[in-house]
């Protein structure tokens, strides 16, 4: 499902990598549904973000935070948990590229946890696409 995969581009192949692909997709869908409700975000904004059009809305930013908190990659305060990120990245050939991009984005900070999660996600998304990482 492209929408879900792009929204979680940073971790699409790594969310609980010990799970099967089907388990990961179900978990991603569940997190997405829960976070759409929690953040009260219009799913159309998520679809637009999938295409690289990032809306500057509190709801979309809080959706990113919600998702990454549920996935275990950031804290409620918006702190990126690098050890967790590194542990969950798959050991595939793109791992080093992904880590390099994460290093570029990891220190971004916003006014709150939602803005921080969103800034990190947007940075990773834009740099991953520029590097042709995680093609769909």
pLDDT, tens digit, for every residue of 118-129? Answer: 999 999 999 988
Given this model, what pLDDT does residue 15 score? 43
Q: Mean pLDDT across the stretch 1-8?
A: 39
Give me the domains of the chain, ranges plus CATH numbers. 2-130 (1.10.238.20)
pLDDT for 78 beyond 80: yes
Distance CA 24, CA 22 (A): 5
* Residue 74: strand pairing partners: 80
**Residue of higher predicted confidence among 7 and 116:** 116
pLDDT for 105 beyond 80: yes
Residues 19-72 have pLDDT tens digits of 677 888 899 899 999 999 999 999 999 989 988 899 999 999 999 999 999 999
Q: Mean pLDDT across the stretch 80-90?
A: 85
Check: pTM over 0.85? Answer yes or no. Answer: no
4: number of Cβ within 10 Å: 17
Report the run of H or E that residue 47 belongs to, with start and end: helix 43-50
pLDDT band at residue 130 using 50, 70 and 90 as cut-offs? confident
Cα dihedral 111, 5, 136, 118 in deg (nearest 10) = 0
């Amino acid at each position: 499902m492209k929408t879900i995969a792009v929204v979680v581009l940073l971790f699409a192949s790594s969310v609980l990598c010990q799970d099967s692909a089907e388990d990961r997709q179900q978990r991603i869908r569940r997190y997405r549904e829960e976070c759409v409700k929690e953040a009260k975000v219009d799913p159309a904004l998520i679809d637009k973000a999938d295409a690289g059009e990032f809306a500057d809305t509190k709801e979309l930013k809080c959706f990113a935070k919600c998702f990454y908190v549920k996935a275990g990659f950031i804290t409620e305060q918006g702190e990126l948990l690098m050890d967790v990120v590194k542990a969950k990245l798959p050991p595939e050939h793109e791992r080093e590229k992904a880590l390099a991009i994460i290093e570029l984005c990891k220190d971004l900070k916003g006014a709150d946890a939602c803005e921080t999660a969103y800034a990190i996600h947007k940075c990773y998304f834009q740099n991953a696409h520029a590097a042709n990482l995680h093609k769909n």
